[in-house]
Chains A and B, each alone.
Chain A
Amino acid sequence: MNVETMSLDRMPVVGALHEFDTNSGNVLERLVFNHRFAMMLVCALATVLLGWVAVTRLSFNASFEKMIPSNHPYIRHYLENANELRGLGNSLRVVVSVDDGSIFDPKYQEALKKINDELFLTRGVDRAGLKSLWTPAVRWTEVTEEGFRGGPVMPDNYDGSPQHTAQLKLNIARAGIVGRFVGNDFKSSMIFVPLLSKDPETGAAIDYRALSHTLDDLRSRYEATPGVKIHLHVIGFAKLVGDLIDGLVKVMGFFAIAALIAMLVIYGYTRCVRSTALVILCSVVAVVWQLGLVALLGFALDPFSVLVPFLIFAIGVSHGAQKMNGIMQDIGRGTHRLVAARYTFRRLFLAGVTALLADAVGFGVLMLIDIPVIKDLALTASIGVAVLIFTNLLLLPVLLSFSGVDPVAAQRSLRSERERAEGRGTGVVWQVLERFTTRRWAVAALGVAAVLAGAGLMVSKHLKIGDLERGAPELRADSRYNRDNAYITGNYSLSSDMFAVIVKTPAEGCLKYVTLVEADRLAWALRQVPGVQTTIFLGDAVRQITAGSYEGSPKWLTISRNQDVLNYGAQQASVNNPDLFNNACSVMPVIAYLSDHRAETLDRVVAAAEAFAGSHAGTGREYLLAAGTAGIEAATNIVVRQADRTMLFYVYGAVIVLCFITFRSWRAVVVAVVPLMLTSILCEALMVALGIGVKVATLPVIALGVGIGVDYALYLLSIQLAQQRAGVPLEDAYRHAVQFTGKVVALVGVTLAAGVVTWAFSPIKFQGDMGILLTFMFLWNMVGALVLIPALSHFLLRKAT
């Protein structure tokens, strides 16, 4: 890796440029350094061009389909039937509440009507499915001596008069919509707003951010309605994504803080303004290119990929700092800055590429997670790493070859280098670290590590899959969205956690007696599952309508064997509950409303539904899992659970292979990997302690933590092994390794941590979780490497193999 110890024989001090053979070095070096102006021009042009692309074309989005594992059978079933499942897909619930009085205040109704009308006209709204007190689809029915009669809940030509208000009250009571469209306390009512997946006019995906802002605008305008104090509570995936996008824009602002921290760290390390500025500049250029390429490839920034620039920047800074360090020392020895740049390039290019490859492994493994948003993250991050090869391994030395470094800083760097080589001047910390190569300290360190690992394993047994909290776990508990969600679940009967099994039949099959009885059995089976509050399907409506057509007698709340009765029921249901089956009557959801969306609850429901589907498969009837928010979440959990294991397997596999190629020693691989494993275990324990479940957002953390964390071992062990192979005993070899790379390891750890620690303050909770966990992993991996590598080496690497 870091080859600072390489003999200086082949790189003599060259004070004047004319003494240097410009045709020395490999093809790449000659190509880059003999055409420095062209190189800079190309990079400048690329930066301007890609920057322009990034500014003009980069959009923020997170589409519904991208956040879910679209290849999982459950999701495929859902997506194949999504158009037929009205009301189960992407929808908004807008609840308009009133502070004083009730919904029967005419001013409230007037505002509600206007909100209803505005929502109806909002782009992306599936107008046919919009339901509220002001839509004719919300109906009441009643049995009289003459038969069945009914009508829209809102009286015709409602004018707010006491008569109309009384009529409205009556209609609401006989429609039985309290808890569904009217709050249990009559202080709010709901507008159900299904959304289209594509704008029917432009064919483009719905812009959730614009939609969310439209809703915010609606909220602020109507909450200021004179004469009545109303509030709007909005929940639904589109609003959630809109809030997430606003959050990620805010997070982008943290980039400046992360950059500032990194700048201070680098300056503290080099004490050279010129080179610090260049390292930061090149890393910023890398981010600009990365964003430009992302935009060029047609990707949008989502709450996951927005984090990539932070990582790219941090990695760029830590690698740039090493380049600069090498150049500084050469210049300090009196070498011309151009020659110094070329020497450093010769020494570090391959090592840098290897290190970046190790980072890319961390990102690349994420490709295995079959969730588009994570694959995008992996791809955009890989682009970023590739970009770093150009900006920080090629462009940076070229720029340094022009600017040179501050002479004082160069001398200082050389002095400390010499002091380190002579064993003087290293801090107490570094001396303490050397002791871990002795038996007593090694045993103690490994003992502590074993205890930590044991305790960590015990705690991590409680690690849960999926979301653990009520409401939207993406956002913080006190966020506007989650407060709205709490209001709505508190005042309405049905939870927002819906798990739907899609019953599929040939056309006209859904209203057949056999289908309805089987679906009824499915619903009954689901209702037995703890955590299922209730179930709803076409059969319930048919029972009600059948009883209604027999004058409301509860004795007729049955699924009749008479097909005419069922046909009538379905025909009536298509008016009152069109979301219970599709027009062709071939797709019918059986919906279970769940008390929560914890993984155990979802697992139980999935098991019950799968068992039923397995034992009741019949010709002409299919039971397809799953739709609804909880159905999608169940599929996501299944994918995450599998991905969690395979990803660990692959990331460790890749890291082990990489280490073996680098070290050519199995014992060294063990020494390098064991500290990472301890960190992974402790990270899981930390997740338990912080109440973070394994979910889409936490999967990248372990992969990145391990993939980037192995860098430390690569730095330390490569030097230690080189020394040992040259015949130096372990203690001295490790001392050398720490002397030469300890500071770099610390620098990398601190800059990486600085890059991610700001996420902890993100309004998006999972970014906060990722920030905390990644900071922990980067720092703890650093400590683990510095302490456990010597301790393990004591037992495994007494003799270099």
Chain B
Amino acid sequence: MFLHRVRRALVALAFMSPALAFAGFTDVLDTPASASPLASKGLLNGLALAGKRIVAVGQRGQIVYSDDAGASWRQASVPVASDLVAVSFPTPQQGWAVGHDGVVLHSSDGGATWARQLDGRRVGPLMMEQLRARAARGELGSSADAAALIEEAARIAAQGAENPFLDVWFADEHNGFIVGAFNLIFRTTDGGKTWVSWFDRTENPDRLHLYAVRGVGTDVYIAGEQGLLLKLDREADRFHVLATPYKGTYFGVIGSGDAVVVYGLRGNAYRSTDGGTHWQAIDTGIQEGLTGSTAFGAQGLALVSQAGNLLVSRDDGAHFTLYRQPKPVPASAVAVVGDATVIAGALGVKTQASH
């Protein structure tokens, strides 16, 4: 226990003053993203629409945006050089981006400039402070349960900036969720001014990574490792597990109309039209992992894969058509703007006419 505390103290010290830890090294959390004409050509993992503007986030804190459906890109001003993985714009102005090193960024000008709301140095203490307070109020069940939960959370919190946030979803400019590795999850109801840990409010006893969070209709789903799919119970303010046919990892969840679609490893995708009670396998016709998705138009859904293939549905995900790319590049995210489809991936953003 003592050693444990010493180590935590050292870790905290290290992150308080990185210059002490590594002479001549500036941490990525203290380094603004560098301006580069290659920003729109490197790995971009997250895409979102801010009104008509496309915003893409990626490696080394690079955020680019386009007002002409992807024909040209400008680079945003970003205070960190961390690898960013996801972005969400509930309104044309207000947006949030998350990524490695526990980074949460906020923009209130449609993605042109970004400010830090949270990072990995604060995530652990914040989570532990809240959990300990709730344990003290007896909100975490029996004292034995609470102690076990606190100990487990403390272990993850101590890893500090090691753990990334893997997805962000905002319902509107006030309410949003961020999820990440080892069951990291926070909710805000004030546009990110305060973040509340929901670590104890997920039915995820193995603390599996949470890859995606998304609202479908009035429901909110979280997809994760080893077939984990959670659904928000608004009454109880908890995420409950849903049974699905697949035990491999889900990388994402998306919905259109009444239908919700989860997708992940090796081309696996499943569709439910009854809020997640029953699932049907979707014939995707591909073997590689499905990595990104978007809903568009009245009944449109699009999925992209690790091998760069594009799947499009016009009937709420009942049927998908596979569009193999002539020069496939691993893809991470997809967005549809007007009649253009924008795909982000290993070699940046590419725009093509929608099928």
B247: CB under 8 A from chain A? yes
When distances are taken between beta carbons in the complex, the residues of chain A under 8 Å from B23 are 618-619
Q: Contact check, A145 vs B164: say whether CB atoms are below 8 A apart.
A: no
Q: Which of B34, B36, B291 contacts A554 (CB 8 A)?
A: B291
Residue from A550, A553, A562 having most chain B Cβ neighbours under 10 A: A553
- Measured CB to CB, the nearest residue on chain A to B160 is A561
Known A145-B247, A145-B266; contact A554-B45, beta-carbon cutoff 8 A: yes
B22: CB under 8 A from chain A? yes
Q: Contact check, B291 vs A553: say whether CB atoms are below 8 A apart.
A: yes
A517 to B31, CA, bound (A): 12
When distances are taken between beta carbons in the complex, the residues of chain A under 8 Å from B332 are 554-555
Q: Contact check, B159 vs A553: say whether CB atoms are below 8 A apart.
A: no
Q: Contact check, B265 vs A552: say whether CB atoms are below 8 A apart.
A: yes
B214: CB under 8 A from chain A? no
A213 to B27, CA, bound (A): 54
Q: Contact check, A553 vs B289: say whether CB atoms are below 8 A apart.
A: yes
Main SS of chain A's interface residues?
loop
Q: Contact check, B24 vs A619: say whether CB atoms are below 8 A apart.
A: yes
> Which B250-288 residues have C-beta < 8 A from chain A?
251, 265-266
B2: CB under 8 A from chain A? no
When distances are taken between beta carbons in the complex, the residues of chain A under 8 Å from B225 are 551
> Which B40-71 residues have C-beta < 8 A from chain A?
43, 45, 59-60
Known A144-B266, A551-B249; contact A560-B162, beta-carbon cutoff 8 A: yes
- Measured CB to CB, the nearest residue on chain A to B225 is A551
A552 to B268, CA, bound (A): 14
B281 to chain A, nearest CB (A): 15
Contact with A along B2-27 (1 / 0, CB 8 A): 00000000000000000000111100
B83: CB under 8 A from chain A? yes
A616: CB under 8 A from chain B? yes
B209: CB under 8 A from chain A? yes
A551 to B36, CA, bound (A): 30
Q: Contact check, A558 vs B164: say whether CB atoms are below 8 A apart.
A: yes
When distances are taken between beta carbons in the complex, the residues of chain B under 8 Å from A555 are 45, 85-86, 164, 166, 211, 332
A527 to B306, CA, bound (A): 24
When distances are taken between beta carbons in the complex, the residues of chain B under 8 Å from A551 are 225, 248-249, 265, 289
User: How many pairs, one residue from A and one from B, have CB atoms within 8 Å of each other in the complex?
Assistant: 78
A402: CB under 8 A from chain B? no
Residue from A518, A524, A617, A619 having most chain B Cβ neighbours under 10 A: A524
Q: Contact check, A557 vs B59: say whether CB atoms are below 8 A apart.
A: yes
When distances are taken between beta carbons in the complex, the residues of chain B under 8 Å from A617 are 24
- Measured CB to CB, the nearest residue on chain B to A553 is B251
When distances are taken between beta carbons in the complex, the residues of chain B under 8 Å from A618 are 22-25
Q: Contact check, A145 vs B248: say whether CB atoms are below 8 A apart.
A: yes
Q: Contact check, A558 vs B100: say whether CB atoms are below 8 A apart.
A: yes
B192 to chain A, nearest CB (A): 21
When distances are taken between beta carbons in the complex, the residues of chain A under 8 Å from B346 are 554, 557
Q: Contact check, B36 vs A528: say whether CB atoms are below 8 A apart.
A: yes
Q: Contact check, B36 vs A562: say whether CB atoms are below 8 A apart.
A: no
When distances are taken between beta carbons in the complex, the residues of chain A under 8 Å from B209 are 550
A145 to B268, CA, bound (A): 11
A458: CB under 8 A from chain B? no
Q: Contact check, B25 vs A528: say whether CB atoms are below 8 A apart.
A: no
> Which A526-567 residues have C-beta < 8 A from chain B?
527-528, 550-555, 557-562
When distances are taken between beta carbons in the complex, the residues of chain B under 8 Å from A621 are 24
Q: Contact check, B211 vs A553: say whether CB atoms are below 8 A apart.
A: yes
Give the number of chain A interface residues (Cβ < 8 Å). Answer: 27
A143: CB under 8 A from chain B? yes
When distances are taken between beta carbons in the complex, the residues of chain A under 8 Å from B24 are 616-619, 621
When distances are taken between beta carbons in the complex, the residues of chain A under 8 Å from B22 are 514, 618
A555 to B159, CA, bound (A): 19
Known A555-B45, A557-B43, A618-B22; contact A143-B265, beta-carbon cutoff 8 A: yes
When distances are taken between beta carbons in the complex, the residues of chain A under 8 Å from B59 are 557-558
A214 to chain B, nearest CB (A): 39
A550 to B83, CA, bound (A): 16
When distances are taken between beta carbons in the complex, the residues of chain B under 8 Å from A517 are 25, 28
Residue from A144, A550, A552, A616 having most chain B Cβ neighbours under 10 A: A552
A524 to B34, CA, bound (A): 10
A145 to B226, CA, bound (A): 8
B196: CB under 8 A from chain A? no
A562 to B102, CA, bound (A): 13
A528 to B211, CA, bound (A): 32
B200: CB under 8 A from chain A? no
A144 to B289, CA, bound (A): 9
- Measured CB to CB, the nearest residue on chain A to B247 is A145
When distances are taken between beta carbons in the complex, the residues of chain B under 8 Å from A145 are 247-249, 265-266
Known A143-B265, A552-B306, A616-B24; contact A528-B345, beta-carbon cutoff 8 A: no
- Measured CB to CB, the nearest residue on chain A to B159 is A562
When distances are taken between beta carbons in the complex, the residues of chain A under 8 Å from B43 are 554, 557
> Which B215-266 residues have C-beta < 8 A from chain A?
225, 247-249, 251, 265-266
A562 to B162, CA, bound (A): 6
A146 to B37, CA, bound (A): 40
B330: CB under 8 A from chain A? yes
B353: CB under 8 A from chain A? no
Known A145-B266, A514-B25; contact A554-B164, beta-carbon cutoff 8 A: no
When distances are taken between beta carbons in the complex, the residues of chain A under 8 Å from B154 are none
When distances are taken between beta carbons in the complex, the residues of chain B under 8 Å from A527 are 38
When distances are taken between beta carbons in the complex, the residues of chain B under 8 Å from A562 are 159, 162
When distances are taken between beta carbons in the complex, the residues of chain A under 8 Å from B60 are 520, 524
B161: CB under 8 A from chain A? yes
When distances are taken between beta carbons in the complex, the residues of chain A under 8 Å from B316 are none
Q: Which of B37, B161, B330, B345 contacts A561 (CB 8 A)?
A: B161
B101: CB under 8 A from chain A? yes
- Measured CB to CB, the nearest residue on chain B to A552 is B289
When distances are taken between beta carbons in the complex, the residues of chain A under 8 Å from B251 are 553
B253 to chain A, nearest CB (A): 14
A143 to B266, CA, bound (A): 8
B108 to chain A, nearest CB (A): 25
> Which A724-764 residues have C-beta < 8 A from chain B?
none
Q: Contact check, A554 vs B247: say whether CB atoms are below 8 A apart.
A: no
A42 to chain B, nearest CB (A): 69
> Which A612-638 residues have C-beta < 8 A from chain B?
616-619, 621
> Which B311-339 residues have C-beta < 8 A from chain A?
330, 332
- Measured CB to CB, the nearest residue on chain B to A559 is B83
A408 to chain B, nearest CB (A): 81
A174 to chain B, nearest CB (A): 9
- Measured CB to CB, the nearest residue on chain B to A558 is B83
When distances are taken between beta carbons in the complex, the residues of chain B under 8 Å from A528 are 36-38
A683 to chain B, nearest CB (A): 41
- Measured CB to CB, the nearest residue on chain B to A555 is B85
B292 to chain A, nearest CB (A): 8
A560 to chain B, nearest CB (A): 7
A756 to B28, CA, bound (A): 61
When distances are taken between beta carbons in the complex, the residues of chain B under 8 Å from A520 are 60
B107 to chain A, nearest CB (A): 20
When distances are taken between beta carbons in the complex, the residues of chain B under 8 Å from A552 are 265, 289, 306
Pull 28 A–B residue pairs with CB atoms less than 8 Å apart, ordered by A: A144-B265, A145-B247, A145-B249, A145-B265, A514-B22, A517-B28, A528-B36, A528-B37, A552-B289, A553-B211, A553-B249, A553-B291, A554-B43, A554-B45, A554-B330, A554-B345, A555-B45, A555-B86, A555-B211, A557-B45, A557-B59, A558-B59, A560-B162, A561-B101, A561-B160, A616-B24, A618-B23, A618-B25
Q: Which residues of B contact A (CB under 8 A)?
A: 22-25, 28, 34, 36-38, 43, 45, 59-60, 83, 85-86, 100-101, 159-162, 164, 166, 209, 211, 225, 247-249, 251, 265-266, 289, 291, 306, 330, 332, 345-346
Given known contacts A555-B211, A561-B161, what 17 new A-B pairs fall within 8 Å (CB)?
A144-B266, A517-B25, A552-B306, A553-B211, A553-B291, A554-B45, A554-B291, A554-B306, A554-B330, A554-B346, A555-B86, A555-B164, A557-B346, A558-B59, A616-B24, A618-B24, A621-B24
Nearest 10 interchain pairs by C-beta: A618-B24, A145-B248, A555-B85, A554-B332, A558-B83, A619-B23, A561-B162, A514-B22, A562-B162, A551-B249
